[in-house]
Structure 1
Amino acid sequence: MFTGLIEHLGTVTAIQVDETGCTMTVSDATPILDDCHIGDSIAINGACLTVTAFDKETFTVWLANETLRRTDLAERKIGDQVNLERAMGAHVRFGGHFVQAHVDTTATVVDRQPDGDAVTITFEFAEPTPERPSLLAYLIPKGYVTIDGASLTLTSVDDARRRFSVMLIQHTQEKISLGKKGVGSTVNIEVDEVGKYVEKSMLAAIGGRGENTQLREMVEKIVESVLVKKGVLPN
């Protein structure tokens, strides 16, 4: 589990790809390696990955093909900066939101608009497919979204255009990779998991994806009662 508060910007220094996946090495990572162990989880651009090797300045992770398909990490090149966050410790303040670092999909930066010292960045989802259905139902203005591992607040959501926006203050622009990404760049998106659980629970309760139809029957009785009172249905 993560908070979405980026701890450090590291630099990709080695990439080895084969048919089974990819090994990636990140350097300039000393500030997050003081308590590192083999097998620990570190989120890179919002993707939870397992440390397979490390020293005082660098660490290496393995990326499975599923991770390469689902995230922007297949596009990273040597020299790219990436957002880093260690798994949340029980002793730290919880300043972001619950982030699993399980990337749902990617989006594309389509606009950047300065607003004083801040900047508003707008993103667009690709057309939904059976493999990647629309995530817009989980995005609401002033709700949470995780972009490249950073917990951010949505400022607007445009369902018709498959677009959404966030605002970065100057401090945040300097501390995360998104501050340097231009129009056309790809970013990793993880929607707030709470919305997913609420949706599944409600669908199961009304019989949409489960056998529990009690709530559905209750709603049907209420609707029928109202229609009878209005004379639409016979008493």
Structure 2
Amino acid sequence: MFTGIVECIGTVLEYNPYDDSESGGQGISITIGNAESILSDCHIGDSIAVNGVCLTVTEFDNGSFKVGISPETVKRSNVASWIQGAKVNLERAVSQDVRFGGHYVQGHVDTVANIVSREPEGNSIIFGFQLRDQEYFKYIVEKGFICIDGTSLTVTKVNELSNGGAFHISMIKHTQDNVIMPLKSIGDEVNIEVDLTGKIIEKQILLTLENQISKEDSTLNTMITNIIEEKVKNFLDK
């Protein structure tokens, strides 16, 4: 679990599309440097969020660490753009003594979005985004949480799908100085993890409705039956 509060910015040292070493796992591996500040308490198997993607440390030294990348992660995220020299946001998994300054972030990226606008507002920057996979748009609400490239942010505006399907965030100066978003340009991709709360609520509502519909004597079916009977009675009485 993570908070979406970026601890430092790392640099991709190597992207290996087929790493047959023991720590590479015969798949894609990435080595990330400039990470000294988050490796003092690191262990093999620890989780580190890299641009919002929860990844497992398979090898590390004082300043760098290696992670393996699954095909699912490549499909869901912007990992393919992590070429040598790319800057990435880094956050360790939370511990018991960490203040929860952001929001509940799993590190399970849902999809990517493209930056479609970038406008200054005082000392802040208003970024606009459009999702690649529109089915996640329903979870994005004004003043709700969203995690973009591992950064916990608040949605400030939502244009519904009928009006372009964009959403916006406002990034204050402090955040600009400590994350990679300001380094990106219009058209660039970012990783998106929508707020888990919306998914949970939707799932519970669907399960409850399915359970109610499947039982003839359920409260829902009884209510629907009563409404239909009342409508039929009113129609026949006319």
When the two structures are superposed, what TM-score results if normalisation uses the length of structure 1? Answer: 0.89
Give the aligned residue type for 2:221.
E
Q: Deviations over 1:97-120 (max 9, x none)?
A: 110000000000010010010000
CA distance in 2, matches of 1:114, 1:232: 60
Write out aligned runs for 1:1-235 (5 A).
1-18=1-18, 21-126=27-132, 128=134, 134-160=135-161, 161-207=164-210, 211=214, 214=218, 216-217=220-221, 219-220=223-224, 223-224=227-228, 227=231, 231=234
CA distance in 2, matches of 1:52, 1:212: 50
Q: Residue 27 and residue 159 in structure 1: after superposition, are their counterparts in 2 closer, same or farther (change >3 A)?
A: same
What is the identity percentage for the equivalent residue pairs of Structure 1 and Structure 2?
A: 41
How far off is 1:217 after superposition? 2.1
How far off is 1:22 after superposition? 1.2
Q: Residue 78 and residue 204 in structure 1: after superposition, are their counterparts in 2 closer, same or farther (change >3 A)?
A: same
Q: For the pair shown, which has the larger CA radius of gyration, 1 or 2?
A: 2
Unaligned runs of 5+ in 1: 129-133
CA distance in 1, matches of 2:226, 2:97: 48
Query: Over the residues paired in the alignment, what is the CA RMSD in angstroms?
Result: 2.4
CA distance in 1, matches of 2:236, 2:64: 72
Unaligned runs of 5+ in 2: 20-25
Give the aligned residue type for 2:199.
K
CA distance in 2, matches of 1:175, 1:209: 49
Q: Deviations over 1:209-235 (max 9, x none)?
A: 995784532552574487589x4576x
Q: Deviations over 1:80-136 (max 9, x none)?
A: 1100000011111111111000000000001001001000000011364xxxxx111
Q: Across the two proteins, how many residue pairs are aligned to each other?
A: 229
CA distance in 2, matches of 1:212, 1:34: 57
Q: Residue 175 and residue 233 in structure 1: after superposition, are their counterparts in 2 closer, same or farther (change >3 A)?
A: farther
How far off is 1:67 after superposition? 0.8
Q: Residue 138 and residue 54 in structure 1: after superposition, are their counterparts in 2 closer, same or farther (change >3 A)?
A: same
* Structure-1 residue corresponding to 2:22: none
CA distance in 1, matches of 2:219, 2:111: 32
